[in-house]
Amino acid sequence: MSVATNAFLDMLAAERGAAANTLAAYRRDLDGAEEAIGDLASVSREDVARLSAVWSGLAPSTVQRKSSALRQFFGFALEENWRMDDPSGALPKPAARRPLPKVLSHDEIERLFSTAEDEAASDRPAAVRMLALLELLYGSGLRATELVSLPLAAVPRDAPFVTVMGKGGQARMVPVSERAREALSRWLKVRQETDSKFLFPSRSKYLSRVRLFQMLKELAVRADISPERISPHVLRHAFATHLLEGGADLRVLQTLLGHADIATTQIYTHVDAARLVALVNARHPLAQTRTSD
């Protein structure tokens, strides 16, 4: 790896606080590009254009990620005088962006919760646990790993928040609804006594992500919803989409989801175009001026 690319990685670690996994991913992408076309601090625009052929067999999402890494490097190199030009315009442009996650309708969410609540009425531990998991997935937008690895100490007592350890070891405060707090309280009453420090323990350590996937799909079948339409990520996306539809600010949503970059939130959320048009017509100052005239 060249001196310039090492300097770029050092900057990511020092100034942006990039996690080890993030740095490793950038290193792999930059290493691969340098193996293909040479030192990124001195390659020409024509060299960069050759990456289209080198990456031709890769998925569009992978090309997009690699191009993003190089684009950031070239911007850094220009600012730090490693280069006198920015050849990023010659980077491959993926044919399509990654598809948005599947979206559950409000009716499907209601059916899912209705089924879970009916089953939890029996106070069977497995059913009560399922309801608590569902409330936290949809009510707080937690990632699957964040949810299953919650420590027992994370259960809110006085404050309606739970501290979650997200990607890159970044902690964030996530609000917990009254419904979710009630479901957690019910779960703690039937949770088997154990020395485990985790909220959702299992024989190995804590409930696995794979088992969470299975439980959700089984619940979907009982709620007359196609199991292919549901996963922890789909519920997280539904949380974001439905909040945005309800008028939540995008920056607030970014914080709730634990996204480091607002661009990730913009890609992740799916908003009805008609609702956006109606919002502009109703809220834009000029629209209000015309109405008052």
Just list the catalytic residues.
Answer: 143, 167, 233, 236, 259, 268
Residue 89 has a CB neighbour count (10 Å cut-off) of 12
Residue identified by tokens 């909040």 is 243
Burial class of residue 225, CB neighbours in 10 A (0-12, 13-18, 19+): buried
Distance CA 255, CA 260 (A): 8
SS3 281: helix
Q: What is the DSSP letter of 90?
A: G
SS3 121: coil
SS3 163: strand
Distances (CA, A) of 97 to 71, 110, 141, 267: 17, 31, 23, 10
Most distant CA pair in the chain, distance: 70
- CA dihedral 168→265→140→175, nearest 10 degrees, is 80
Take residue 229 and report the two structure tokens written for it: 């339409």
CB 180 within 8 A of CB 113: no
Distance CA 136, CA 129 (A): 11
Which distant-in-sequence residues (6+ apart) come within 8 Å of 163 by Cβ?
154, 171, 172, 173, 174
